[in-house]
Amino acid sequence: MISTVVLPVAGLGTRFLPATKAVPKELLPVVDKPLLQYAVEEAWRAGIRHVVLVNSRTKPTLPRHLQPADAALVADLEARGKHELLAALQSATPPGLTLTVVIQEQALGLGHAVLCARDALAAMPGGLEQTFAVMLPDDFIDAPVNERSQGCLADMVALHRDTGAWSLAVEEVPRAQTDKYGVVSLTSNPADAGARIVAMVEKPKPADAPSNLAVVGRYVLPGSIFAALADVQPGVGGEIQLTDGIVALLASHDIRAHRFAGVRYDCGSKLGYAKANIALALRDPDLAAPLAAWLQQSPITIQEAS
């Protein structure tokens, strides 16, 4: 069973300045919950109970959000009978959650961030032989939750349980955008579910991309990824790429492409973040009707806004 997820959250979020001057990007809300909480809830539904937060010293509010709420605030909400608000507040800390915080002193790439979690996993039962997950909170995957699926990461955990294979979440992107992603090549028809990955290229030019299947922010990885990352040679800017560590394992490990249900919103970009807020607000029972009416009747037309 997979018990641990690593959340790399040390990035500066500069694309959202000045909003992220004091508030970490991962605490920006989609409607009424921050991106960090959506990620933890997705991991929780996958059966994961241990979160390793790879954080920066400049972002102390991130672990605070996952810790129990201030006792005075809880008492105040109880005294005023604000039971729905109290439930929402307490939902930020799922029962039994274990939180470990490690510091990434320098932002030296996603591979380096994952490598920073090595000692935390080594200290756990199973040590560095355990399979674990990695999630990027700003890759917000809005997936259906029902009796068949508990979300993207839950499906990837189930794939490992049933087959022993590890996996990377992938989606088709326009070929013109392959230079923004890690792009995979598969053993079989790309339409096959769970096809094995045989090659992976970080941010290839469209003409050089092996496919248009891009890796997005969900990974189920073997513990051997740490040894592979330790051998990766830093690239431009001294960064260690997670892609390079994964590539080193492809010949010896069954790592598959997981095509997830639902929609991914790149909440590391302003456009993706705006889309996620609109999409979820239009499903909110209190917001959907008035927001839809406003969108239809607003005097702010698309032409004026542009």
CATH number at residue 31: 3.90.550.10
Q: Which residues of 219-244 are buried (b: 16+ CB within 10 A; e: fewer)?
A: bbbbbbbbebbeebeeeeeebbbbbb
Contacts of 183 (CB under 8 A, 6+ apart): 200, 201, 204, 209, 210, 211, 212, 213, 214, 215
Output the pLDDT for position 70: 86
Q: Rounded to whole angstroms, how far apart are CA atoms 265 and 262?
A: 10
Is residue 290 a part of any domain in this protein?
no
pLDDT of residue 283: 94
pLDDT value of residue 305: 44
pLDDT at 304: 47
Q: 97: which residues sit within 8 A by CB, 6+ positions away?
A: 40, 44, 49, 50, 51, 66
- Quick check: is 278 in a domain? no
Rounded to an integer, what distance in angstroms lies between the CA atom of residue 205 and that of residue 273? 26
Measured CA to CA, the distance from residue 269 to residue 236 in angstroms comes to 23
The answer as to whether 29 is a domain residue is yes
Does residue 260 fall inside a structural domain? yes
User: Which residues in the chain come in under a pLDDT of 50?
Assistant: 304-306
In a domain, residue 297? The reply is no
Cβ contact 28:273 at 8 Å: yes
CA distance 62 to 243: 26
Instruction: Report the number of distinct structural domains present in the chain.
Output: 1
Residue 225 domain flag:
yes
Which range marks the domain in which residue 169 is found? 4-268
pTM: 0.92
User: Which tokens belong to 120?
Assistant: 């935390």
- The first and second tokens of residue 294, run together, are 């406003």
Q: Do 102 and 52 touch, CB atoms closer than 8 A? A: yes
Distinct helix (H) and strand (E) counts, the chain: 12, 13
